[in-house]
Amino acid sequence: MHVGRLLTREASVLERRELKLIRVVDVHKTYLLGEIELSVLKGISLQIARAELVALMGSSGSGKTTLMNILGCLDRPTSGQYWLDGEDVSRLSADQRAVIRNRKMGFVFQNFNLLPRTSALENVMMPLSYSHEHVSEREARRRATSMLERVGLGSRLDHEPSQLSGGQQQRVAIARALINNPSLLFADEPTGNLDSVTSREILSMFRQLNREQGLTIVLVTHDPEVARHAQRTIHISDGSIQDGLRPASAQPYLPGLKGPSEVCA
């Protein structure tokens, strides 16, 4: 009786295995500083599967931010291919990339980057105004409210960023990143401006999102402590990937970390 279901499951597993969410082949990025060519990425190839929590690690100047910009469709590679969800996005125009970012990606930044003097709710609603599906005002409000409730800020909808702590601001930023139901979340040093306790809360929230919703997360960091939370770490040094894959099993379970639900309560 479960044959059909088994088959579909197998098919989906197969498909997932075949079609990685991110596939990057030999990506170069070169900047022109006057006459001098500055090569920042020197032939990066990597794959990230769906529902993976990957850390992109490297010291400053290693090119990890440049790589994240390319992966996040904020920038285009000088050469090489980048398939996102089976679609070659390495040659898209700025407007097309904006649409991809809106539909498929969310960003969390080190300095939160919330709109100042704007309520948490409005901040979370903001991406919906650029969305292609037309979301009514009421629907947008409802979705933003439930998103803020999920990150544990249901009681602070009308607070402005200046009235929120760092951790709360970052949670607003996460809610904003998730409002369009992206399949991919980029976090650029998400804990860089937070104390260690809050950092752990935020990181465990990422883990929970990854585990419970199958959200693919790319954590960009220079901090090994942060990278430890990932299933896999990609080390970047001087524009190339240092070591290959680290088996998912090597990822140790971190006891003593509270889940976000407990934290937020």
Residue type, 197: V
# binding residues, other proteins (CB under 8 A)? 30
Least distance from C-beta 73 to other proteins, angstroms? 9
Residue from 23, 58, 107, 205 touching other proteins (CB under 8 A): that is: 107
Tell whether residue 181 is a contact of other proteins (CB under 8 A): no
- Tell me the per-residue interface mask from 66 to 85 with other proteins, x by CB under 8 A, - otherwise: ---x--x-xx----------
Residue 73 region by backbone torsions, left for phi larger than 0, else alpha for psi between -120 and 50, else beta: left
Compute the distance between CA of residue 204 and CA of residue 170 in angstroms, rounded to an integer: 13
Give the range of 173-181, 192-200, 206-214, 232-240 binding other proteins by CB under 8 A: 173-181
CB nearer to other proteins: give 130 or 212: 130
Which one-letter DSSP state was computed for residue 87? E
Give the range of 6-14, 80-88, 95-103, 197-205 binding other proteins by CB under 8 A: 95-103
214, 50 Cβ separation under 8 angstroms? yes
Tell whether residue 183 is a contact of other proteins (CB under 8 A): no
Q: Roughly how many angstroms between the first and final C-alpha of the chain, as a whole number? A: 42
Tell whether residue 109 is a contact of other proteins (CB under 8 A): yes
Least distance from C-beta 264 to other proteins, angstroms? 23
Tell whether residue 180 is a contact of other proteins (CB under 8 A): yes
The CB-side HSE value for 181 (13 A sphere, CA atoms) comes to: 5
What lies within 8 Å, CB to CB, of 34 at 6+ separation is none
The residue whose two tokens read 């979705």 is 143
- Tell me the per-residue interface mask from 115 to 134 with other proteins, x by CB under 8 A, - otherwise: xxxx---x---xx-xxx--x
Least distance from C-beta 181 to other proteins, angstroms? 13
E strand residue ranges, the chain:
22-33, 36-48, 53-57, 79-84, 87-88, 105-108, 184-188, 216-221, 232-237, 240-241
Compute the distance between CA of residue 186 and CA of residue 109 in angstroms, rounded to an integer: 8
Residue from 28, 42, 50, 103 touching other proteins (CB under 8 A): that is: 103
Footprint of other proteins (CB under 8 A): 69, 72, 74-75, 94-95, 98-99, 101-103, 106-107, 109, 113-118, 122, 126-127, 129-131, 134, 176-177, 180
